[in-house]
Amino acid sequence: MLAIPGEGIEESVVAIEQQDLFQSTQRAFVRDLRPGQTVDAPFALTHLALKTYAGGKFLQAKLGDRTGRIAAVLWNGAEALYPSLQVGDIVRVQGAVETYREKPQLVIRRLERLENVEHLDPNDFVPTINLNSEQLIDELKTIARTVQDPHLLELLGMFFKDTPFLEGFLRAPGGKQWHHGYLGGLAEHTLGVVRNCVVLADRYPVVKRDVLIVGAIFHDLGKVLEFVYSTVIDYSDVGRLVGHQILGDHKLCEYAGRIDGFPQELLLELRHLVLSHHGESPDAARQPQTREALILSRADDLDAQMNAFTREILKARIAGRKWTDYVNLIGRYLYDSGGADEIGEVVIDDV
Ligand SMILES: [Fe+2]
Ligand SMILES: [Fe+2]
């Protein structure tokens, strides 16, 4: 282990035996870290940068586990340690939680890259929501059964019977950071969009309900392939090079291709829903050109933004603040106007 002399931190880290360190029932998780607390626990390194200050170089990092992420700094020996580390490493960290700019920050006293991590549960390191998968699939199937068109019912059957893909769907994140950026997030988000579309199909009976519901269930299927998530959530090669809109279109065409006589015009309408679900966003493959596509893009955006707003506001609430930090991605601060503590289970991170 590389020892880093502490600066202003008492040597009060309680020594924990290696085997205890790995017991997920005993170790410290990010969600529970509070200023003043000492820490000796394994984390995934989710961000790493060598920075300069008046006294030399320091390491700026983010450490993650299944409950969230925390900012961390290491002041001494940073330059020597930096080349041996990379994002995705599992590291043992000893240090203390302090407050920096009103937010918790872990000041690292010792940091060790763990080489043998086979005995660790990868699920302990990636932000994860505890979903009731069975209940979620049951609700999706219940809504799917309200579809009338026999070809579309067959198409939905293809998805629900595609067991390995369905497992990926239940495990995949819904995004990398902004919305549903945790394992299980894709399924949670998909159900959210489908629920929105059920309501909006009633509100606007002029649209084709069947097409809208199937489009909602299928809209983000490409995300099953878009991400990798062994110790941190990141884009896969195909995710970066092709992206989930096109990957989702391929999946849809693959299922439809296995159904004899699947109407081509119906397929075209559905493909358009998948390809245009990002609305007028610059990254949208197509912009909505049907009423169903318009509704889906709004239903998708609403569910994504509600999740992101809620997570930002809860972070501020935990820190005892009414206002969030400035959110670069949307160019504004958000305000905690009250409301329920949680909408389902919310995974907090500090990004
Ligand atoms: Fe999407
Ligand atoms: Fe989406």
Q: Is the separation of the CB atoms in 206 and 150 below 8 Å? A: no
Ligand nearest to the CA of 281: 1
Count of Cβ atoms closer than 10 Å to residue 58 Cβ: 20
- Residue 58 · residue 74 · CB < 8 Å: yes
Q: Point out the ligand nearest to the CA of residue 305.
A: 2
| Confidence at residue 155, expressed as pLDDT on a 0 to 100 scale | 98
CA of 63 to the centre of ligand 2 (A): 27
- The sign of the CA dihedral 77, 78, 82, 88 is positive
Q: So what's the pLDDT on residue 320?
A: 85
Which stretches does DSSP call E strand in the chain? Answer: 38-53, 56-65, 68-74, 90-100, 103-113, 227-229, 233-235
Ligand nearest to the CA of 245: 1
Task: Extract the residue ranges of the chain whose pLDDT is less than 70.
Answer: 1-26, 341-351
CA angle 133, 137, 139 (to 5 degrees): 120
Among all bound ligands, the one having the nearest atom to the CA of 216 is 2
Q: Using one digit for the tens of pLDDT, what is the confidence trace for 107-152?
A: 999 999 988 777 777 778 888 888 899 999 999 999 999 999 999 9
Residues paired with 90 in a beta bridge: 44
- Looking at residue 145, its pLDDT comes to 97
CA distance linking residue 110 with residue 115, whole number of Å? 16
CA 172 – CA 220 distance, rounded (Å): 11
Q: Give SS3 for 327.
A: strand
Tell me, in angstroms, the distance from the centre of ligand 2 to residue 169's CA. Answer: 13
| Smallest-distance ligand from the CA of 222 | 1
Would you say 30 and 37 are in contact if contact means Cβ atoms under 8 Å apart? Answer: no
Nearest ligand to the C-alpha atom of residue 226: 1
Q: What is the pLDDT of residue 169?
A: 97
CA 175 – ligand 1 centroid, Å? 9
- The Å distance, Cα 203 to ligand 2 centre, comes to 21
63 strand-pairing partners: 45, 70
Among the residues of 72-226, which ranges form H helices?
Answer: 78-81, 133-144, 150-161, 163-171, 185-203, 209-218, 223-226
- In order of start, what are the domains of the chain with their CATH numbers? 18-124 (2.40.50.140), 133-318 (1.10.3210)
Task: Show the 3-state SS of 156-184.
Answer: HHHHHHCHHHHHHHHHCECCCCCCCCCEC
Return residues with CB closer than 5 A to ligand 2 (ion). 220, 300
What length does the chain have? 351
What 8-state DSSP symbol labels residue 123? Answer: G
How many whole angstroms from 283 Cα to the centroid of ligand 1?
Answer: 10
pLDDT in tens, 260-309: 999 999 999 999 999 999 999 999 999 999 999 999 999 999 999 999 99
Nearest-angstrom CA–CA distance, 44 and 111: 12
188 Cα–ligand 1 center, Å:
13
* Per-residue pLDDT at 346: 55
Q: Measured between alpha carbons, how far is 259 from 251 in angstroms, rounded to an integer?
A: 13
CA nearest 173: which of 252, 236, 103, 247?
Answer: 236
Rounded CA separation 110/72 (Å): 12
